[in-house]
Amino acid sequence: MEVSPRAAMTIARLFEQATGQTLSQDRFWRIGTTLMPFCRARGIESFDQLALALERSADRELSLDMIDALLNNETSFFRDAGVFTQLGEALLPRLAAARRRERRLRIWSAACSTGQEAYSLAMLFAEQGDRWAGWRIDIVGSDISRSAVEQARGGLYTQFEVQRGLPIRQLIAWFDPVLDQGWRVKPQLAAHVSFQRHNLLGPPPAGGRFDLILCRNALLYFSPERRHQMLEGLALAIAPDGGLLLGAGETVQGSARFVADPELPMVYRPAAARTVPHAA
């Protein structure tokens, strides 16, 4: 099946309306690549038929499935290992000193896809056990993809997925084998992590400010206007002395809400405290 310009524009527009993410013309190839199996499984004979169905149908499932198919859910355990080294050796000790009285940290792994980043954080804390003894560590993972969040909540990963970034030592320590399926996160690790479906352009997750927000490799999928809107939301969600960690090559792009950390690359601090309205 070929993708007509009209169908591509319609699908890209509906995708952006639902997610805020821009599917530019140089990425229209993703429509044909990712949605062809989607169409065949549903008996849809052309992309024009799909575009028409998405526009006219009240079938929310069709729209959600289309969104899931088009989203880029690329992730891995301990992705960009240097980031986790910096977290363990510099950023988390700083936060520990700032929260030594409360002995609680709230961390948001935003746009976390299938959850590997959030569980990597949980492993990082668990393996620094003495430092965090008596602390309450809450890690919230979120993503707009329904299927990604479902997998993250289940904590079940294939052999291929655990081989990407996860040393055998940690695999044995923190995962249980599941016959013919892969590996599941052990309950004692999963207890510190929760997941929810969330649009980064909406209100932040409930529960108060976050001491640390990881939002890596997400900004590049949004238009400048949407990036500004996203950064406004992140500024509302972060503690006044918290840290925002972006992906390599990403910046706050002139946002007045954040300033670069002078000591830690890819880390940004809130420029000023703000009132935080949260989702119900």
Q: Write out pLDDT tens, residues 86-98.
A: 999 999 999 999 9
Domain with 251 in it: 81-270
Residue 85 lies in a domain: yes
Same domain, 251 and 125: yes
Q: Are 85 and 46 contacting, i.e. CB atoms less than 8 angstroms apart?
A: no
Residue 279 lies in a domain: no
Q: Write out pLDDT tens, residues 178-233.
A: 999 999 999 999 999 999 999 999 999 999 999 999 999 999 999 999 999 999 99
Same domain, 243 and 265: yes
**Mean pLDDT of the 243-251 span:** 95
Same domain, 60 and 174: no
The CATH number linked to 136 is: 3.40.50.150
- The count of structural domains within the chain is 2
- Three-state SS for 31? helix
What's residue 26's pLDDT?
87
Please spell the DSSP secondary structure of 187-226, one letter per residue: HHHHTTEEEEE--TTSPPPSSS-EEEEEE-S-GGGB-HHH
Residue with tokens 């099946």: 1
Q: What angle do CA 248, 249, 252 make, to 5 degrees?
A: 105
